[in-house]
Structure 1
Amino acid sequence: MNDAPYGRLAYDFSIVGCQKSGTSTLSGTISQHRLVCRPPRKEAHFFNNEEYDWAHPDYERDYTAPKRSQVHAMVGDSTPVYIMWPGALERMHAYKPDMPLIAVFRDPIERLFSHWTMLRTRHPDWPDWSGFIHEFRPSTLPESIPTDVSAMRYKHLSGVARGYYGAQLERGLSIFPREQWLLLEFRELLADYDRTIDRVTDFLGLPRFEQLPPLRNRYAGAALVSGTAPVAQEIADLAELYADDLALFAQISGIDTSAWPTSRILAGELEPGELADRFAARVAPHPAG
């Protein structure tokens, strides 16, 4: 049976990161454009598949999507682990050297906490906050996946590593030229949604939406999760961990990070305890017994 009466489309743009920074909101909006085909699933997880035969890739078989309408001209992948996964962007470059790439960035500690609450919402048995931020706690972006854990566990628990935006972008720019990147900021995406989506359609060479779909903050996570809330010292330590990389990111991205809580903590404008208290409002203590 032919599951693609209109044929198939090769993936020709990618939202590569960062997780918990509005990628689902962005991909959900762009997939409603009349010329853009909605993919079978938001995250293809193709280029971070460590079991794939990368010596003999069959892109036509393994990295295409069924065209849903005659008018559809492009389809995009939105797998936010790509930007930090060792080897993923290199594999993508081998597939399509002129691939347009979109990345959305968010304060690294806010992103980390959102990552943890997402995991606790889906899997209450995943590590509590302290375990989550310490199980994999590299001092910079890893060049390879740890050999003593499964790729799947690393994908879920690599929360700290995903916050090294400077190293991720520096590596990304060494693989794809700057003109192929559109760099966005999470708060601006939500606060200036219309202009941001215009930037995206312009970047992809699409006509702008005649009527923009309403903003939907997709997969925001549960309002309350069970666990142990972050404390001030943990927040302060994370800010110091990210300090050098955050400075690098601000320099090479051109994104103003001065209002990010991590930047404000490092500048002495925000007490770590204030951010910890804000996070604690979303954490319910473990039930007694």
Structure 2
Amino acid sequence: MSRFGSFRESLRGRSSLGKRGLPPSVRSFERTVTSWARRPTAGGRVFPNFFIVGAQRAGTTSLFRYLERHPNIIGPVRNKGVHYYDTNYHRDLTWFRSQFPTAASVAAIEHATGAPVAVGEGSPYYLFHPQVPARIAGTLPDARIIVLLRDPVDRAISHYEHEKARGFEPLSLADALAAEPERLAGAEAALRADPTLVHDGHLHHAYAGRSTYTPQLERWFNHFDRSQVLVLGSQDLNERTRDAVDRTVDFLGLPAAPELDYPQYNQRQYDPGDAEIRAALAEQFAASNARVSELTGIRFSPAGEIRP
């Protein structure tokens, strides 16, 4: 790592401790303690100016990690996803601001590089949560919004496998898809009625719902000018990574990123589902996919074929 790279990492305040091996209760306690320790300095910290909002299981972690390697892009002082506007909305803006770098550290990077700094976070539930677009627009109306869309059939099945592996899903894929309407019944109304509510079914079990992209995109377009929203296809990120990163960096108003390697993050091998389930999902998503194509130019497989 270059001297500037080491300097930049120290400005972020990232810990060198490997926390992934700690029990969840210990990690939660550690997060609480360090968050409270940053509260007194929140007034001297910056708010983010961009958000990667989803979709879940669409490459948001990979894109975020690629962007963080740019000398003028910084994430939160801890994890990529702060989740203030969805599952942490019971907290206050002081808590939210305390998750980000200090204004002095941002100014130091701007001085060292001669270019502006973009500060952002990546919380993939933001795309699907019905209240998040209005919440962000209400506090940070000039923010830039980045959306990644994966083939909806692949995304839904990958999401199911992800929740199953984490212990949140006891049902088979077919049964989980059949149970989804009941699990999500009344969820959006409840989330609108109670700003602090975390709805378990809406958060974990919306496999088809999160892959029906049209209503999600339209909510964001209702609150942000189209010039503030960049929509990328996950296939572009996977197959034309450099171009996708360059588009994103340009969207953030920054100079081009240096040449880098682009490993994929959070990859998981999963059962792609049987042909009958895939075909049924493809039919279910067809109308939404057509509208997504009109809105963004992104096209998905019409028959739910397994992607290589």
Task: Output the TM-score relative to the length of structure 2.
Answer: 0.73
8 Å CA contact 2:87–2:198 kept in 1: the answer is no
8 Å CA contact 1:166–1:250 kept in 2: the answer is no
**Cα offset for 1:145?**
4.9
Q: How does 1:178-189 map to 2 (within 5 A)?
A: 178-189=226-237
In the alignment, what sits opposite 2:47?
10
Structure 1: tracts of 5 or more residues without a match: 280-289
| 2:267 maps to 1:220 | yes
What is the distance in 1 between the residues matched to 2:162 and 2:217? 24
What is the distance in 2 between the residues matched to 1:81 and 1:124? 16
Instruction: Give a deviation string over 1:60-99, Cα, whole Å, max 9, x none.
Output: 4323413466316332110111111111111010011111
CA RMSD of aligned residues (A): 3.2
Change (3 A) 1:252 1:38: closer
What is the distance in 2 between the residues matched to 1:179 and 1:44? 24
Task: Output the TM-score relative to the length of structure 1.
Answer: 0.77
Which of 234, 237, 251 lines up with 1:203 in the alignment? 251
What is the distance in 2 between the residues matched to 1:253 and 1:145? 30
The number of aligned residues is 255
| 2:84 maps to 1:46 | yes
Q: How does 1:23-102 map to 2 (within 5 A)?
A: 23-39=60-76, 40-49=78-87, 52=90, 58-64=92-98, 65-67=100-102, 70-71=108-109, 73-102=117-146
**Cα offset for 1:224?**
5.2
**Cα offset for 1:51?**
5.4
Q: Which amino acid aligns with 1:66?
A: P
8 Å CA contact 1:11–1:76 kept in 2: the answer is yes
- Secondary structure of the equivalent of 2:147? strand
Q: How does 1:253-264 map to 2 (within 5 A)?
A: 253-255=296-298, 257=299, 260-261=300-301, 263-264=302-303
Q: How does 1:138-153 map to 2 (within 5 A)?
A: 143-145=188-190, 151-153=199-201
In the alignment, what sits opposite 1:286?
none
What is the distance in 2 between the residues matched to 1:158 and 1:205? 34
Change (3 A) 1:21 1:145: farther
**Cα offset for 1:7?**
4.6
| 2:57 maps to 1:20 | yes
Change (3 A) 1:7 1:118: same
- Secondary structure of the equivalent of 2:189? coil
Identity percentage of aligned residues? 26
Q: Which runs of 4+ in 1 moved over 4 A?
A: 1-7
In the alignment, what sits opposite 1:282?
none
Structure 2: tracts of 5 or more residues without a match: 1-33, 111-116
8 Å CA contact 1:44–1:79 kept in 2: the answer is yes
Structure with the larger helix share: 2
